[in-house]
């Protein structure tokens, strides 16, 4: 990789053709790097998949092969180590590291910083202990309310599954519970976030109104940034003409052009960030409301694996104490539970 520096800002003018950076290509006319039109979107897709937390590196490697993301030379599948290095590389966010220091580049990002950070969180997550061959439905969802240890599951007589405190800190006096009984108890935590249809529709209308206002503000902000960008480019053009005509000194031109280039990069980075956040809050919110509206029905009609996925969506934590549960809900389901409890939906 070749870079041109100016204080804390740098521009990549050439990128090495390696599996790590080959999702950008060199533009020999502008002397800048640009996203590979084929591989670039595939990289973004792979980051999104891994950031979801639902793929191991091995599974991600297979998925990458399925969607067509292969090694930059030929069509061989990328190795897990190549994928791992790619997922750690900030270049796809518009940043890059040069001589141990992080810089903001002027190249087009392929992913948002949020996606990159979520991928890093998955990469850095400490793996859980190995489970036995049969992983029980609610393993890892509960903690003991008495000592804080995890609740584990064991099968008795080849048929019945019981959940109990691991007792890692010693005997705490908590009890066993059969999986069937635990399933019913967990069902009550889902019932607590069930939304009445009229409340769900009222909230959806408010979301749509708020989303419309946010979109108007986003467009106004984009217009302001575009105007600012045009003004900066005009300053650069006029300043260059003055420099060529000898009306300003070389030192003056070097100092001012550097300031204007920094401002241009800042504005363009804001435009990219604004474009990447162009998602409908109402659509996401209405999907969440639809889930909350059907939560109890879905839980009762799903298989254990699907029930677990629903519980992981709704709950952030849950403790068990001698036959009772104390759930902590994820946002915004905590608000739904509170609204059902108090009747106050404001």
pLDDT at residue 329 in the model: 94
Q: Could you report the per-residue pLDDT of 179-232, keeping only the tens digit for each? A: 999 999 999 999 999 999 898 888 888 888 887 888 888 899 999 999 999 999
Binned at pLDDT 50, 70 and 90, residue 233 comes out as very high
Determine the Cα–Cα distance for residues 342 and 345; give it in Å rounded to an integer: 8
Q: How many CB atoms lie within 10 A of CB 289?
A: 22
Tell me the two tokens of residue 2.
Answer: 């070749």
pLDDT at residue 154 in the model: 87
Least confident of 131-145, 199-213, 291-305: 131-145
Question: 258 in helix, strand or coil?
Answer: helix
Query: In sequence order, what DSSP letters do the residues of 287-311 get, joined into one string?
Result: HHHHHHHHHHHHHHHS-HHHHHHHH
- Compute the radius of gyration of the chain from its Cα atoms: 27
pLDDT at residue 221 in the model: 92
Q: Could you report the per-residue pLDDT of 236-286, keeping only the tens digit for each? A: 999 999 988 999 999 999 999 999 999 999 998 898 888 776 556 666 788
Inform me whether the pLDDT recorded for 145 exceeds 80. yes
pLDDT at residue 176 in the model: 92
103/196: higher pLDDT: 196
pLDDT at residue 9 in the model: 45
Average pLDDT of the residues in 22-40? 66
58 vs 69, 78, 85, CA distance in Å?
Answer: 14, 11, 14
Given a contact cutoff of 8 angstroms between Cβ atoms, the answer to whether 264 and 233 are in contact is yes
What is the set of domains in the chain, with CATH numbers?
A: 2-124 (3.90.1750.20), 192-346 (no CATH)
pLDDT at residue 319 in the model: 94
Q: What is the dihedral of CA 123, 124, 129, 133, to 10 degrees?
A: 0
31/105: higher pLDDT: 105
Average pLDDT of the residues in 83-108? 77
Inform me whether the pLDDT recorded for 127 exceeds 60. no
**Strands (DSSP E) along the chain, which ranges?**
2-6, 9-14, 24-27, 32-35, 95-98, 101-104, 143-144, 151-156, 160-165, 177-178, 315-321, 324-329
Average pLDDT, the chain: 81
Q: Could you report the per-residue pLDDT of 306-330, keeping only the tens digit for each? A: 898 999 999 999 999 999 999 999 9
């Amino acid at each position: 990789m070749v870079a041109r520096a100016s204080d804390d800002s740098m521009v990549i003018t050439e990128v090495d053709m390696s599996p790590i950076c080959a999702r950008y290509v060199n533009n020999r006319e502008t002397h800048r790097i640009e996203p590979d039109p084929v591989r670039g979107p595939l990289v973004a897709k792979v980051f999104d998949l891994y950031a979801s937390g639902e793929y191991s590196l091995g599974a991600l490697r297979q998925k990458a092969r399925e969607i067509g993301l292969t090694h930059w030379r030929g069509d061989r599948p990328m190795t897990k180590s190549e994928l791992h290095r790619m997922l750690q590389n900030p270049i796809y966010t518009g940043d890059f590291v040069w001589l141990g220091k992080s810089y903001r580049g002027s190249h087009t990002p392929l992913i948002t910083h949020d996606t990159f950070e979520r991928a890093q969180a998955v990469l850095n997550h400490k793996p859980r202990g190995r489970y036995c061959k049969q992983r029980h439905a609610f393993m890892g969802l509960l903690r003991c309310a008495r000592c804080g240890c995890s609740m584990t599951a064991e099968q008795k007589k080849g048929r019945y599954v019981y959940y109990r405190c691991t007792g890692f800190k010693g005997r705490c006096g908590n009890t066993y519970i059969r999986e069937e009984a635990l399933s019913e108890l967990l069902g009550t935590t889902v019932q607590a976030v069930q939304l009445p249809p009229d409340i769900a529709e009222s909230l959806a209308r408010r979301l749509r109104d708020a989303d419309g206002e946010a979109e108007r503000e986003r467009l106004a902000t984009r217009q302001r940034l575009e105007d600012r960008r045009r003004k900066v480019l005009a300053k650069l053009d006029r300043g260059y003409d003055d420099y060529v005509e000898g009306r300003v000194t070389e030192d003056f031109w070097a100092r001012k052009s550097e300031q204007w280039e920094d401002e241009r990069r800042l504005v363009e980075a804001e435009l990219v960030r604004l474009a990447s956040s162009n998602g409908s809050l109402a659509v996401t919110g209405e999907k969440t409301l639809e889930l909350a509206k059907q939560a109890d029905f879905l839980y009762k009609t799903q298989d254990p694996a699907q029930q677990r996925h629903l519980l992981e969506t709704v709950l952030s934590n849950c403790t068990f104490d001698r036959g009772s549960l104390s759930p902590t809900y994820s946002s915004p389901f905590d608000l739904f539970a509170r609204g059902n409890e108090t009747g106050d939906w404001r």
